[in-house]
Structure 1
Amino acid sequence: MTVRNYNIDFIKALAIISVILIHGLSNDTLYAILAPYYIWQTVPVFMILLGYNSANSFTKRGYERLSEIYNQQYLLKKAKRILLPFTLIWFAQILIQFFYFDKTNIVDLLTSFFVGGYGPGSYFIPVIVQATLLAPILYLILKKQPTKMMIILFFVSILIDLATYWLDISGSLYRLLIIRHIFSVTLGVWFSLVKTRITFNWLLLPAALSFGYITAVHYFNYELVIEEYWHSQHAPAYFYVLLLIILGMKFFNIKKESVLEKSFILIGEASFHIFLTQMFYFWFISRWLPDLNGIVYIMLFLTVPILSGIGFYYLDNYLNRKLSDATK
């Protein structure tokens, strides 16, 4: 039986807390606490882990062809994991839009489903759906020659990124596409395939170059072409993010023994549901709260989405069990 790696849950917990901090703190504060080096890398963390976990699963099952992966069971599992909880949040949002904000354009309300609904970070929904569908393809591309194909895909992802600039794709469309995260998912798949052979010495140089790239983009206003949107959230930055994840997996020693460890593991397990509740919180709930400052404000925007997200996670698991029982 495979032993669950609680270090991954801990990393996901830190990542979802970072998402909330991104949406709750001002840019000036984020820059002051050097957020580009950790907090602002949270989506690449999730994408690398998605690729890593997907490739681990495919390897364990011995998949060799796309037809073995893209089956009804796989698609239904992913739909229940991503689309069911999102649909519940989205449905609540369109009811609020219709009855509270008097948004009566039904077409606009219905099409909002495909752009992730409403609220900060809503783009993550279509992006994670695309990443989930892309991971099997990347796995089969990388499977036989992981490092060679990873290097090729690094340049391919940059070329695709450049193509969006040449084609003058709008920022509103670009934010919904997987393009800037093709390589982060690739790195996750690659790491899964080579994890027993990878050495820190090999990764240090590209990670250092990534660190320099992040620094140049965020603190020295570096902009070549691909940085038109999303600052350093592009392929050159992700070796540094991968190094952070590897260090976390190697040096964290999470055993699910203490209350604190159990709490962080639960936050990591519920990270997607917490993402959805924080999106709803900053979009609608926060407007009803009094103006607060300092630590009280921070504690409020952290605890409400996290606690409600955990509750939503348990509710979703309950609904899934009921759905499974009903289809047996």
Structure 2
Amino acid sequence: MKQHFQQIDILKGLAIIAVLLLHSLSREQLIASYAVFHIWQAVPIFMVLMGLNLGMSYSSKTLHFDQLYTPHYFQKKALRIIFPLLLMYVISLVAGFVWEQVYAREVYTLGWKNLIGVLPVSGKGNYFITLLLQSLIVLPLIGYTFNRWPVRTSLVLVFVEIVFQLIAYQIPYFEEDRYLYDAALFRYFSAIALGLWLSRLITTSDKRYSWLLLIAGIGSGLYLYFHQSQGISLPYIRPEWQAQLFLTFPYAALLIFAGILAFPQQSGFAVLQTIATIGKASYHIFLAQVLYFGLVQDDMDIALNLAVCLIAGGVFYWLESYLSKKLS
């Protein structure tokens, strides 16, 4: 039976709150607060956690390749990922229509990208939905190969990520439309690899190799510092995401490891339970905030953004969970 770590839910809760803050603050405010070390780590933390959860779910299994993409797997992922997304498509279509009638402002983002995860009313961070859809196909294969050849799989993941970055730098299309680059799961392959290794570190009492993560995380933090404060930029890699690549993900992994050590595995403390509940609803809150930031023009009211997105996402989580139970 898979061991449950409340710390993971807490970290997801903190990360989704960081996403809302990231989308509420100006770039100047983020830079001034050194957000690259905390708020800007939200998506890397989610991606490392993706690898961590994958490693924990596969650690006790001996799978054959033909057991990866079963009807049960796709049914489970359809209920967990696709069904909430389809519901939000419908909600965004209705909300967009009402918004246009009331405010006489066009808010729809209709086109071929709706087929790959862009909501009909699309706001900040929509690319993460497309990342998540790709993970449904790619993660089982990564988990399968890592279980058998962990070192080789990790090296391949890092290599593929670097090669993708080098190739993407040469593609003129990304100058005109960054969405496919932003939403490419290849950009986070090393983060997934780190999560896989982290799953082994936290499920064993032997922590003697944790010093490797500490050294890598500190080195990663130094790169982030010089990147932001000194404007250091890597050649032959697109500039938009140089604070989120293979050199920076060890810092996110170190934050997760520190959080797992700092927070209790199970706690009845009200604040931690609340944050863990937010973490369980993080996907639904994320979908709600994509719609919200696609509708509103003035998004600088931080308290309002947090309140609306957390409440709307929580209600959506409750509603979707009720409907999915009926379906299953």
- How would you bin the TM-score normalised by the shorter chain? 0.7 to 0.9
Identity of aligned residues (%): 31
The equivalent residue for 2:251 is 240
- For structure 2, the residue ranges without an aligned partner over 5 or more in a row are none
Q: CA deviation at 1:40?
A: 0.6
If the length of structure 2 is used for normalisation, what is the TM-score? Answer: 0.87
Residue 41 of structure 1 pairs with residue 41 of structure 2: yes
Indicate the larger mover: 55-64 or 75-84.
Answer: 55-64
* Maintained 8 Å contact 2:198/2:257: no
8 Å contact from structure 1 (residues 138, 189) kept in 2? no
SS state at 1:226 partner = coil
One-letter amino acid of the structure 2 residue matched with residue 245 of structure 1: I
In the alignment, does 2:108 pair up with 1:128? no
What is the count of residue pairs matched by the alignment? 315
Aligned to 2:15: 15
The aligned counterpart of 1:253 is 264
Amino acid at match of 1:312: F
Confirm or deny that 1:316 pairs with 2:320.
yes
One-letter amino acid matched to 1:69: L
- 2:93 alignment partner in structure 1: 94
Does the 8 A contact of 2:24 with 2:299 survive in 1? no
- What amino acid is the match of 2:190? F
SS of residue in 1 equivalent to 2:148: coil
Give 1:314 shift.
0.7
1:243 shift after superposition: 0.7
**Could you tell me which of 276, 297, 301 is aligned with 2:287?**
276
- The reply to whether residue 61 of structure 1 matches residue 61 of structure 2 is yes
Letter in 2 for 1:75: F
Q: 1:41 to 1:168 in 2, by over 3 A?
A: same
Greater relative contact order: 1 or 2 (C-alpha under 8 angstroms, separation 6 or more)? 2
Any residues of structure 2 matched to 1:71-110 within 5 Å, and which? 71-97=70-96, 100=100, 108-109=110-111
1:80-138, CA deviations, whole angstroms, 9 ceiling, x for partnerless residues? 211211222222323444562686999x3564242421110111111011123222222
Specify whether residues 139 and 3 from structure 1 end up closer, same or farther in structure 2 by C-alpha distance, changes over 3 A only.
Answer: closer
Deviates more, 1:165-174 or 1:108-117: 108-117
Mapped partners of 1:159, 1:237: distance in 2: 17
Q: Which runs of 5+ in 1 are unaligned?
A: none
TM-score by length of 1: 0.87
User: 2: CA distance between counterparts of 1:104 and 1:31?
Assistant: 29
Contact conserved, 1:52 with 1:191, CA < 8 A, in 2?
yes
Match of 1:155 in 2: 159
Contact 2:201 2:210 in 1 (8 A): no
User: Partner of 1:176 in structure 2?
Assistant: 183
Q: Following TM superposition, by how much is the alpha carbon of 1:237 offset from its aligned partner in structure 2, in angstroms?
A: 0.6
Task: Provide the alpha-carbon RMSD of the alignment.
Answer: 2.4
C-alpha displacement of 1:51: 1.4
Q: CA deviation at 1:56?
A: 1.4
Q: Contact 1:49–1:188 at 8 Å: present in 2 too?
A: yes
Q: Give the structure 1 partner of residue 114 of structure 2.
A: 112
- Equivalent residue letter for 1:32: A
